[in-house]
Amino acid sequence: MKLLFEGDQGKALCEHCQQIVTTTYVRRDVPFSDGQGQAKEILVGVCDDCDTVVAIPAQSTPSIKEARKQQLIPIEARLPAIYLDVLDAAMHVVTKEASVQTRKLFISYYLRVLVETKSATRLQRTHDEFSEWLSKQMTCRQLTLSHSMKRLSMKVNPYVADDFIVLLEATHMTRTELLKSVICHIQEDVIEDRNAAIISDLQRLTRVAM
């Protein structure tokens, strides 16, 4: 992609002149992509003959792209309370500023990483290991597993919702099982392994998203 400056010249088809014309890049107010309102002082190519805007370079498209009002999609599940405790503990390892809102960020990040690295197959194993560890803890501490349940409720953007569906299909898990397994995965990386790369990634993410 060539970076353009004011005064640069090019060629484009001018619909008004009905021919290929020479153009000059100048700053103009241009309507937003959804037609509502105008973006100010945007670098565009205008026809040298009739002064019509005939080219919008790649570097100008973000400025005129109207942020689509994203529809948020709910992901909800009732989980044994211990899972939310584990998630919150991992969040606290990453940042002392962690709050209920941080849960969505962590889960969303992990859904993305799991899809990108095609690691869905690891989820079941991670969850099995966690369950085993949990029952060992109960035995060692002479406790019985609590039946307390808690609701995990998040509203995510369409990209995150897509990742969630991809993983549901890849794992054949229910929503609840998938969320539990993702939390086990976070537990393994952050609490157990203290994975420095992942922790600093999550620290950056929580810092800018706060």
* Contact positions vs Zn ion (CB under 5 A): 14, 16-17, 47, 49-50, 52
CB of residue 24 to Zn ion, shortest distance in Å: 12
The alpha helices in 48-157, defined as continuous H runs, are: 61-64, 81-94, 100-116, 120-140
Task: Between 50 and 58, name the residue whose CB sits nearer to Zn ion.
Answer: 50
Task: Between 49 and 169, name the residue whose CB sits nearer to Zn ion.
Answer: 49
Task: Between 13 and 100, name the residue whose CB sits nearer to Zn ion.
Answer: 13
In order, the DSSP letters of 146-210 are ---EEEEEEEE-HHHHHHHHHHHHHHT--HHHHHHHHHHHHIIIIIIS--HHHHHHHHHHHHHH-
Task: Between 14 and 190, name the residue whose CB sits nearer to Zn ion.
Answer: 14
In order, the DSSP letters of 188-203 are IIIIIS--HHHHHHHH
Task: Between 13 and 149, name the residue whose CB sits nearer to Zn ion.
Answer: 13
Cα–Cα dist 181/107, whole Å? 11
CB of residue 20 to Zn ion, shortest distance in Å: 10
Angle at the Cα of 196 from the Cα atoms of 140 and 88, rounded to 5 degrees: 50
Amino acid at 207: R
CB of residue 25 to Zn ion, shortest distance in Å: 15
Dihedral (CA of 144, 150, 154, 159) sign: positive
CB of residue 18 to Zn ion, shortest distance in Å: 8
Total residue length of the chain: 210
Task: Between 19 and 137, name the residue whose CB sits nearer to Zn ion.
Answer: 19
CB of residue 160 to Zn ion, shortest distance in Å: 45
CB of residue 43 to Zn ion, shortest distance in Å: 18
| Inter-residue contact 185 to 126 (CB < 8 Å) | yes
